[in-house]
Amino acid sequence: MLDENLLRKYDALAPRYTSYPTAPHFHPSFGENQYEQHAERSNATILPKDLSIYIHIPFCHSLCYFCGCNKVVTKAGGHKVEDYIEHLMAEIAMRGRLFNGDRLVTQIHFGGGTPNFLKPHQLAEILEAVATHFHLDLPPNLDISIEIDPRTISPSQIEELFAIGFSRFSIGVQDFSKPVQSAINRQQSESNTLACIAEASRLSKSVNVDLITGLPKQTPESFEKTLRKVIDAGVTRIAAYSFAYLPERIKAQRMIDKDSLPDTQIRMRTTQLTRDILLDAGYQHIGMDHYALPEDRLAKAQLNKTLQRNFQGYTTHKDTDLIGIGVSAISKFDTAYSQNSSTLSIYNEMIDNQTLPIVKGIALTEDDRLRAAVIQDIMCHSNVDLSRTVSSIVERNSPLQLLDYFKNELKALSEFINDGLVSPTKVGFDITDEGRYFMRPIAAVFDRYLDNGNKGNSGVVPFSRVV
Ligand code: SF4
């Protein structure tokens, strides 16, 4: 069990670093023109990167109280959904025009919301539009994945999704415990969920299950039962996120009884138990909160040092430019991030006006890119080798100069070193096994944007507790 003093010391608010700079630091002066310039620049590089496409489907049948995703709770079959699909298609065409023919798409991911809110034929239409306006790589290099809510799909519908091209499935479970499900307003049939996992595993080499630790009414013992069922189902990847409780920012979370939330010690016990059980079952710990069987591409990517972290979590798709399509979707180049409007009506209106629906973003400085590379190495590899970092960003600096460049940060790490969470090396540092529970505060040492109160452009503290 982790030392309680360490828990007290490091269980602070910190970003999850799915990007650096983090989204609260995107600003509204970055719009369509800036995006187009960065797209052009990315086409003009000597070896242009492959492309990865994220498509956001915001619709959900009901509201889960823990959820911080961009979503619209609505009824199936309504005009709103058809209308959104038309706008998505228009955005796909607008984005496609910006990228040269040598930019191959190697990944398409549908996230939400609930992507399987759409019928298979609607998803197929969207995929067809992507194939029309972009150049797709061929399988097995092309990976098409989808997040599934098993409450609204049957095993035979998963087979239909496989038939239209989906090769990887990520299934939302969160927790099988009935008291937890009722506290988060997400009643989910265990038998249908397990049947969906079985069907997805029959069809695909890679099936992920999302779980959440720290939910209301959850105990380490109750969570262990969920975990064992998921392991028995044979999934190749498990994401065990810690619950980000931010009721000031996420309205739905105000429906959760604060007194039903587990305290820090219980949350940490659950997190540690999760790691112990999964390692014992043969999974490898990936980055901060993911686990994968050795044969899964995620485990291989960690081994080959090609693992990446982006807005969807951990990915095997190294070095792609990310095109985010749909309401609230985020795009990424080496040199910039941008985000679409999070409001459905504004998103639709901007597309109607033939404008890319980008409402904010940020152009990255060289310092941003260096720090982003260090933070990426912390979050993905638990190891920072400044000579490797620097060669990927600026060729003129030697590792020695970089040690000097980051001298204040390396000094600030001494606390973590004294506590046995970080171990220094000649060219950087490693994060110890215990330190992996505190990757976020370790990464935060390199974050220049963290100011008093950690507030971004919105003026609201946007980050959750570390544990
Ligand atoms: S967890 Fe999924 S299904 Fe539930 S509200 Fe959030 S996006 Fe919708």
pLDDT attached to residue 139: 85
Q: Please check whether residue 332 lies inside any domain of the structure.
A: no
Say if residue 308 is in the same domain as residue 425: no
Q: Residue 256 maps to which CATH number?
A: 3.80.30.20
Say if residue 79 is in the same domain as residue 224: yes
Residue by residue, DSSP assigns 167-219 as -EEEEEEE---HHHHHHTT----HHHHHHHHHHHHHH-SEEEEEEEES-TT--
Say if residue 235 is in the same domain as residue 130: yes
Name the domain boundary from 276, 310, 325.
Answer: 325
Say if residue 116 is in the same domain as residue 259: yes
Say if residue 318 is in the same domain as residue 385: no
Say if residue 230 is in the same domain as residue 84: yes
How many whole angstroms separate alpha carbon 61 and alpha carbon 74? 6
Express the helix, strand and coil content of the chain in percent, nearest 5 each.
Answer: 45, 20, 35
Say if residue 225 is in the same domain as residue 290: yes
Provide the number of structural domains found in the chain.
2
Q: Please check whether residue 141 lies inside any domain of the structure.
A: yes
pLDDT attached to residue 454: 47
Under-50 pLDDT residues of the chain: 452-460
Q: Is the CB of 151 under 6 A from ligand 1?
A: no
pTM here?
A: 0.94
Pairing between β-strand 428-431 and β-strand 422-425 as defined by DSSP bridges: antiparallel
Distance 149 CA to ligand 1 centre (A): 8
Residues spanned by the domain of 425: 366-454
Name the domain boundary from 302, 325, 348.
Answer: 325
Q: Please check whether residue 28 lies inside any domain of the structure.
A: yes
Say if residue 122 is in the same domain as residue 187: yes
Rounded alpha-carbon distances, angstroms, from residue 219 to 181, 266, 329, 382: 13, 7, 34, 28
pLDDT attached to residue 455: 46
Name the domain boundary from 296, 325, 354.
Answer: 325
Q: Please check whether residue 393 lies inside any domain of the structure.
A: yes
Q: Please check whether residue 63 lies inside any domain of the structure.
A: yes
Q: Is the CB of 173 under 6 A from ligand 1?
A: no
Ligand 1 atom closest to Cα of residue 60? 8
CA-closest candidate to residue 166, choices 79, 100, 107, 245: 107
Q: Please check whether residue 333 lies inside any domain of the structure.
A: no
Tell me the pLDDT tens digit for each residue of 266-275.
999 999 999 9
pLDDT attached to residue 445: 95
Q: Is the CB of 72 under 6 A from ligand 1?
A: no
pLDDT attached to residue 458: 47
Contacts of 111 (CB under 8 A, 6+ apart): 54, 55, 56, 57, 147, 312
Say if residue 390 is in the same domain as residue 289: no
Q: Please check whether residue 351 lies inside any domain of the structure.
A: no
Q: Residue 402 maps to which CATH number?
A: 1.10.10.920
Q: Please check whether residue 355 lies inside any domain of the structure.
A: no
CA-closest candidate to residue 321, choices 15, 34, 106: 106
Say if residue 263 is in the same domain as residue 408: no
Say if residue 263 is in the same domain as residue 373: no
Say if residue 370 is in the same domain as residue 314: no
Q: Is the CB of 71 under 6 A from ligand 1?
A: yes
Q: Is the CB of 114 under 6 A from ligand 1?
A: yes
Q: Is the CB of 358 under 6 A from ligand 1?
A: no
